[in-house]
Structure 1
Amino acid sequence: MKPRIAVLGCGYWGSNHIRTLKSLDALSAVSDANRPRAEGFAIEQECRAIDPDRLFDDPDIDAIVMALPPQFHAEMAIRAVRGGKDVLVEKPIALTVKDAERAVAEARAQGRIFMVGHVLRFHPAFEKLKELIDAGELGDVRYIHSHRLGLGKFHTESDALWDLAPHDLSMILAITGEPPVEVRGEGAALLDHLSDFAHVHMRFANGIRSHLFTSRLNPYRERRLTVVGNKAMAVFDDVEPWPRKLAVYRHSVWRDSGHWAFTAEEPTYIPVQEAMPLTRELQHFIDCIVNRSEPRTNGTEAIEVLRILTEGSVRHERPETAAFAAGATRVG
């Protein structure tokens, strides 16, 4: 039998969870502090609307997907697992490492599934990239860099780093297989006190280096993860159409008479299955509930992501005046 799953939080991303779970025949209820909003989705998706205070003790709910503002995630997850529910918590799972550790520890103590919504780990192009790396197609991985740039969305609680970087950090950690031993970060705020640009540089004990760049004030969209190995390089570019999302470059670099020489090859585009990452993520959550298995994106990894976010936020530079605040200056 499929688990009976409720979605707590009927905002933009919560609505995607609602519709996807309905398509998987696993949606049992919706819940939101805004009762009319929850009732609207309940009518649309032919399910129940439950008040948040009653959701955690409802005996007809097996699991809860949480798509709330991140400051509420930890406490709501703790209430859920104490009520016997498995949980999938959207990123970030908390605003502090301490709160995240409390939530994950409570899930373990209660014997509940704790999964985190790092949805790009379930993108078919990333899954194929990981297969190529594990098979040695790129050789030894030496460097990873990720760029996630665009215009908006602007949140009152999360800056560009905390809002955009968790997905990329999850992918980087999946490739490196270990947390970094050194993290250096720098951010810049143009609109208010929250960073609109952020750089994070990481060093790993196995010799891999990595950096990521996020921006919510960029004139163009970029969603690109690049992995550099000593045999080949690969690029997962989610802006490209499906036939071009995953490219492998088999460039050669060598020393010739004391000088560096190279040949640049055209990319080979690797076929990947067309599928929605969110559908694959939620199906994985369902499978973990049914089989009582550890999620691919578990609480331990999410805590490591939070540690990097926290360390990467240490250096924060802000102009004396917010040049683009209150509509004083318009970008573009």
Structure 2
Amino acid sequence: MRSMPKIAVFGCGYWGKNHVRTLAELGALACIVDQDENLAKELAQKHGVDVRDAQSVFADPAIDGITMALPAQYHAETARQAFAAGKHVFAEKPIALDVRDAQSMVDAAQSANRVLMAGHILCHHNAFRAIVSLIEDGALGDIKYVQSHRLGFGKFHTKFDAAWDLAPHDLSLILSIAKSSPIKVDAVPVSVTDGQTDSAHIHLAFENGMKGHVFVSRHSAYVERRFSVIGTKASVVWDDLEQDWNKKVTLYKHDVAREGDAWRSSKDDGENIACEAGMALTDELGHFIDCIKENREPLTNGRQGLEVVKILNTLSV
């Protein structure tokens, strides 16, 4: 394989255009596939590549992989064709809307011995990597509870509700920390407007005793993007709305213990954990490229994408 794999982008709309730009910057963009010919031609001309159709991409041995930023209902069939043609696949979240489709993607990747990577971008964010380092260093002690709040107003979609649009971010973070599938999922979806889920509480329990809670809403008048991990020795909070990278992540040491019939507790004022400013999409797609080069398992693999789809399929209003 060449030193730099060549990757075709399927879907160059709202988010896919960022794939195009980033892969071009990384020197890996092969071509663009999109039903909107005018948009595709404009982006292709800007980045010096061709507009192609799907079948010509699959038939081209010079193209090593594809990224998909398509409506999720089209991911599975496109991925299966790509794997059959020997291509590696990056699928934006959610990787599918149906558990059987997601499972078929995982199975096809395994059969073809090709990479399937789920587009769980926040797992590649430097703030989250800082949290993972704290966990691995033992700074938090045993992890007991993880909670994530992702609230705001809009966007409203025909196919996607708030849970499918927002919660994959948070679920992927929790699954990355748990390193296992939940043994119990309790979901409370709420419809405010049109019968879809506009907000949801998702509670997770894992075999090692860790628990997780996700709260998402597209009908909140205030914005919150906060992720917290609580351990036996300390807690860490990631405030993604904080603009100062040196203040995004804060570690709070605490002590809670029973003394006879009473409890004592204390918490310090917190320590800011410095994070290097970065572009998560660049790191994410760079990781996909590295996985293609080495044919190794991605940090956010297809099984994690499948697990997110399984969890989301427990919700109904």
- TM above 0.5, yes or no, is yes
Q: 2:303 aligns with which of 295, 300, 309?
A: 300
Amino acid at match of 2:298: P
When residues 34 and 53 of structure 1 are mapped into structure 2, their CA distance, relative to the original with a 3 A threshold, is: farther
Q: CA deviation at 1:53?
A: 3.8
List runs of 5+ in structure 1 lacking aligned partners: 317-332
How big is each residue's C-alpha offset from its partner over 1:260-295, in whole Å with a ceiling of 9 and x where there is no partner?
Answer: 222231110111111111000011001011111111
Q: CA deviation at 1:252?
A: 2.1
Residue number in structure 2 paired with 1:282: 285
Residue number in structure 2 paired with 1:19: 21
Name the SS of the counterpart of 2:15 in structure 1. helix
Q: CA deviation at 1:306?
A: 1.1
Q: Take 1:58 and 1:260, find their aligned partners in 2: how far apart are those partners?
A: 67
Name the SS of the counterpart of 2:4 in structure 1. coil
Residue number in structure 2 paired with 1:327: none
Say whether 1:107 aligns with 2:109: yes
Amino acid at match of 1:291: E
Q: Take 1:32 and 1:213, find their aligned partners in 2: how far apart are those partners?
A: 34
Superposed, 1:189-228 pairs within 5 Å as 189-228=191-230
Say whether 1:175 aligns with 2:177: yes
Say whether 1:253 aligns with 2:265: no
* Contact 1:77–1:87, Cα closer than 8 Å, also in 2: yes
List runs of 5+ in structure 2 lacking aligned partners: none
Q: 1:121 aligns with which of 113, 120, 123?
A: 123
* Contact 1:33–1:52, Cα closer than 8 Å, also in 2: no
Amino acid at match of 2:218: R
Aligned length: 314
Q: Take 2:128 and 2:75, find their aligned partners in 1: how far apart are those partners?
A: 27
Q: CA deviation at 1:51?
A: 2.0
Residue number in structure 1 paired with 2:45: 43
Amino acid at match of 1:244: K
Residue number in structure 2 paired with 1:266: 269
Name the SS of the counterpart of 2:118 in structure 1. strand
Q: Take 2:38 and 2:53, find their aligned partners in 1: how far apart are those partners?
A: 11
Residue number in structure 2 paired with 1:10: 12
How big is each residue's C-alpha offset from its partner over 1:192-213, in whole Å with a ceiling of 9 and x where there is no partner?
Answer: 1211101101111111111100
Name the SS of the counterpart of 1:201 in structure 2. strand
Alignment RMSD: 1.2
Name the SS of the counterpart of 1:275 in structure 2. coil
Give the TM-score normalised by structure 2. 0.96
Amino acid at match of 1:57: A
Q: Percent identity?
A: 46
Residue number in structure 2 paired with 1:243: 246
Q: CA deviation at 1:257?
A: 5.1
Q: CA deviation at 1:119?
A: 0.5
Q: Take 1:67 and 1:30, find their aligned partners in 2: how far apart are those partners?
A: 11
